[in-house]
Chain A
Amino acid sequence: MTMAHGPDELTIMLRERTASPPANPRRGEQAAARGRRALRRRRACGAALSAGAVAAVVALPGLTGDGGAPADVTPMSVRLPPAVPLPGTAGDLRLPLAASARYTHMGEPVRLTFTALSVDTVYNVRCSVPDSWLVVESESPGRETSIGRCGPQDHLAQYDRQSAGPAWAGRAHTWRLRVLPPGTRVDTATFTFGKVTVQPGAWAVGIYDRRR
């Protein structure tokens, strides 16, 4: 295919797209507050460890995974779908759905165990409630926690050889996933979040993979 543009057009496009940023006069103050909170947590964590305590840094309702909803469930007035469908394939490689799970409520942590068949594994989380928070923690050592918004668009991501690493393909992995209501206070700097309420809100997670 013929190359159509020069780098100047790229720069112009990038400038045009960012022409009207929303103002936030409190940004510095808010960022400093986040920093202070992170520092406090870090110090609290350090103090607890130095005292030999074995304790969770953040205690959240619903962490036991027993499926029981806490008493402060907030009813929602909007009509939500009872279940979220997942596409049969995903990604450029059109990988088939290898594992999936569907849930009807947000706020409860769930565990998902699957075996990676390749280094191209795709995961897709679909959330029915716009701007929900998605937290993905891996129980495999050395893998980062990922946190971001989910819904109305898919949260779709794919590993590659570099990000998967040598300990990915052919092994079982367990993830702990949480979809949190949009209003949950989340600190993306420290991967921590405030009080979580269990609410109706369908979501689904699919693992797409194919053995090479």
Chain B
Amino acid sequence: MLRKIRQDIAEILELPLDVSLDLPKIVIVGELGVLIQNHRGLIQYSPERIVVGIGQGQIAVAGDSLKISEVNQEDMIVRGRIKTVQMST
């Protein structure tokens, strides 16, 4: 209910939803890399699969030779040969 109100206010004020609702933002660079912004931590890491927590769910990146080249509290850059990016809420 609170989320719906925040969403309505953000739409009325024309604010970006990812900022106002604290949502994750994913940028996929071909099969070379994925940038995940506003994540909630690493859940699983192996060269074939990386699972990252988001507000209400997970983002799973599958591929080969996956590496986390940069990471901080907000952003995470995954490089390697990306096959799938899946988000579950």
A and B bind: no
Q: Give me the interface of A with B, judged by CB distance under 8 Å.
A: none
Q: Give me the interface of B with A, judged by CB distance under 8 Å.
A: none
